């Protein structure tokens, strides 16, 4: 019984520290930063509801799009919509806008290179601006 209790305590402490690493970070454009391992990708919803990604190195200096591969799926109440991206200047921009509405999940799958292991990110699409930090709600850096 004592061993089980110790295991539960260790599991709780380990999961708490794992959740602490999930703190939201915003990029220079006030979008949501996603760690791709060798670089950072900034998820940003434009006024026309298209999604754009800017890329940064570890020092947060803008980087050109090279071999990064990003796809997204909007999971709306009406169904799933796959969103593909294309290079436009130094950004990756969605070929189509997000479906209407808010509050649904956008699932992003990103790879730093075609052969890299994919990373998945779930974003609750809230487009209003947070009054405290000034970021879109999906990139809110407030602790609340």
- The model's pLDDT over 73-83, given as tens digits with 9 standing for 90+, comes to 999 999 999 99
Domain boundaries, the chain: 26-139
Contact between 25 and 43 under an 8 Å Cβ cutoff? The reply is no
Question: 26-139: which CATH number, 1.10.150, 1.10.10, 2.60.40, 1.10.1060?
Answer: 2.60.40
Q: How many residues does the chain have?
A: 144
Contact between 26 and 33 under an 8 Å Cβ cutoff? The reply is yes
Kindly state the tokens that stand for 10: 């260790």
Distance CA 75, CA 83 (A): 11
Q: Is the model's pTM score more than 0.85? A: no
Distance CA 133, CA 78 (A): 32
**69 CB burial (10 A radius; 0-12, 13-18, 19+):** middle
Per-residue pLDDT tens over the stretch 80-133: 999 999 999 999 999 999 999 999 999 999 998 899 999 999 999 999 999 999
């Amino acid at each position: 019984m004592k061993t089980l209790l110790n295991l539960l305590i260790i599991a709780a402490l380990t999961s708490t520290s794992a959740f602490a690493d999930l703190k939201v970070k915003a990029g220079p454009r006030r979008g949501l930063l996603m760690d791709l391992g060798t670089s950072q990708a900034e998820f940003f919803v434009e006024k026309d509801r298209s999604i754009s990604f800017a890329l940064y190195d570890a020092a947060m200096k803008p980087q050109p799009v090279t071999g990064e591969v990003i796809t997204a799926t909007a999971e709306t109440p009406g169904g799933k919509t796959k969103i593909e991206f294309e290079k436009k200047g130094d950004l990756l921009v969605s070929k189509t806008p997000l479906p209407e509405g808010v509050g649904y999940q956008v699932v992003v799958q990103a790879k730093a290179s075609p052969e890299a292991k994919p990373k998945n990110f779930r974003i609750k699409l809230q487009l209003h601006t947070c009054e405290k930090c000034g970021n879109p709600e999906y990139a809110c850096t407030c602790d609340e």
